[in-house]
Amino acid sequence: MTHQVRAVVARGKGAPVSLETIIVPDPGPGEALVKIEACGVCHTDLHYREGGINDDFPFLLGHEAAGVVESVGEGVTDVAPGDFVILNWRAVCGQCRACLRGRPWYCFNTHNAKQKMTLTDGTELSPALGIGAFAEKTLVAAGQCTKVDRTASAAAAGLLGCGVMAGIGAAINTGNVGRGDSVAVIGCGGVGAAAIAGSNLAGAAKVIAVDIDDRKLETAKKLGATHTVNSKDADAVEAIRELTGGFGADVVIEAVGRPETYKQAFYARDLAGTVVLVGVPTPEMKLELPLLDVFGRGGALKSSWYGDCLPSRDFPMLIDLYLQGRLDLDAFVTETIALDEVEKAFERMHHGDVLRSVVVI
């Protein structure tokens, strides 16, 4: 059997997305059909639309999603129809060297659903990050589904599927923020704001939010920033040093992805401090640094891929904290929108108006 559902498709480089009818097959072996309830609009979706990832158009966009498993294919035992799940980028094997060493995002044998979703004329769709969740239903590998406790807001839960997990994970997994640490977060969009929330969960004593947009600094305060710095008005490195007794932060998290902010992160760390790079640079960006500074300041320089998360460990834990009122996922949801408003959401994202617009179906 197949399912005809409405979905958001990017047909060609830079062209506005369109709401279309797509065909979703029933799940085959190892696959799950998920009825999507909510899906956040992320920069990566826009990046797909702009042809910045590859040119496998048409793309089925959307990848920050939560929903309910409708049916599963042969051999699927980890999730069952009726389960409330958060989707992740790809199923990992759990057996290769990367998986066994706790780095599943570097897994050698990742996979998505084998069957293809199509347009009504049979054209195969490329689902964004192997998910494609701006759709009433989508087909994924069962290993991309993590069962979590039911939440009142599917919009909040879905955010753990990408940006918010990337930010929280940068603090608690990659940066290993610990009790009493000072943390500086450079760039307080959705990802940076989540890094602030994560630093708080980890028990940081001081959380310094840095951004050039006062609106983002206001939200950062709501999520637990103890200090804010507008780096349009002040030198970010000087300000962070001043706020940390002249030393610099134990952990600096960069969530912009530009050479000047990478450099700030590098110099704002305390001696032997840790720099966590979450912001994704473009291929042409370069940064020149005196080697003596690289050597002399010691510490660690780490990049964080998907917050170094283990979905089966981290998603249920963070949903628990949300349900207990200890993690304010709702603060990330600036607006909820309908499927046919994704293009408008891209526009608002471009102007920095939102932390997250979330499609609710």
Instruction: List interacting residues with Zn ion (CB under 5 A).
Output: 42, 44, 92-93, 96, 99, 107, 162
CB of 137 to ligand APR, least distance (A): 26
CB of 276 to ligand APR, least distance (A): 11
Residues 42-101 that bind ligand APR (CB under 6 A): 43
Of 189, 153, 128, which is closest to residue 67 (Cα–Cα)? 153
Q: Is residue 216 within the footprint of ligand APR (CB under 6 A)?
A: yes
Identity of the residue numbered 330: D
Of 56, 7, 74, which is closest to residue 36 (Cα–Cα)? 7
Q: Which does 269 bind (CB under 5 to 8 A by kind): Zn ion, ligand APR, none?
A: none
Residues contacting 310, CB < 8 A, separation 6+: 102, 104
CB of 60 to Zn ion, least distance (A): 14
Q: Are 140 and 113 in contact (CB under 8 A)?
A: yes
Q: Is residue 225 within the footprint of ligand APR (CB under 6 A)?
A: no
From candidates 19, 96, 98, 280, binder to ligand APR by CB under 6 A: 280
Q: Which does 241 bind (CB under 5 to 8 A by kind): Zn ion, ligand APR, none?
A: none
Q: Which does 96 bind (CB under 5 to 8 A by kind): Zn ion, ligand APR, none?
A: Zn ion
Closest residue to ligand APR, based on beta-carbon distance: 189
CB of 315 to ligand APR, least distance (A): 18
Q: Which does 156 bind (CB under 5 to 8 A by kind): Zn ion, ligand APR, none?
A: none
- The one-character DSSP state at 33 is E
Q: Is residue 213 within the footprint of ligand APR (CB under 6 A)?
A: yes
Residues contacting 284, CB < 8 A, separation 6+: none
Question: According to DSSP H, which parts of the chain are helical?
Answer: 43-49, 97-100, 154-158, 163-169, 190-201, 214-222, 236-243, 259-268, 291-296, 311-323, 342-350
Return the number of the residue (27 or 163) whose C-beta is nearest ligand APR.
163
Tokens of 36: 């999507």
Residues contacting 116, CB < 8 A, separation 6+: 25, 124, 125
Q: Which does 279 bind (CB under 5 to 8 A by kind): Zn ion, ligand APR, none?
A: ligand APR
Tokens of 344: 């408008």
Q: Is residue 276 within the footprint of ligand APR (CB under 6 A)?
A: no
Tokens of 281: 């640079």
Of 91, 125, 121, 135, which is closest to residue 109 (Cα–Cα)? 91
Q: Which does 181 bind (CB under 5 to 8 A by kind): ligand APR, Zn ion, none?
A: none
CB of 349 to ligand APR, least distance (A): 7
CB of 181 to Zn ion, least distance (A): 27
No. of helices (H) and no. of strands (E), the chain: 11, 18
Residues contacting 152, CB < 8 A, separation 6+: none
- Chain residues that interact with ligand APR, rule: CB under 6 A: 43, 163, 166, 186-192, 210-213, 216, 231, 255-258, 260-261, 278-280, 352
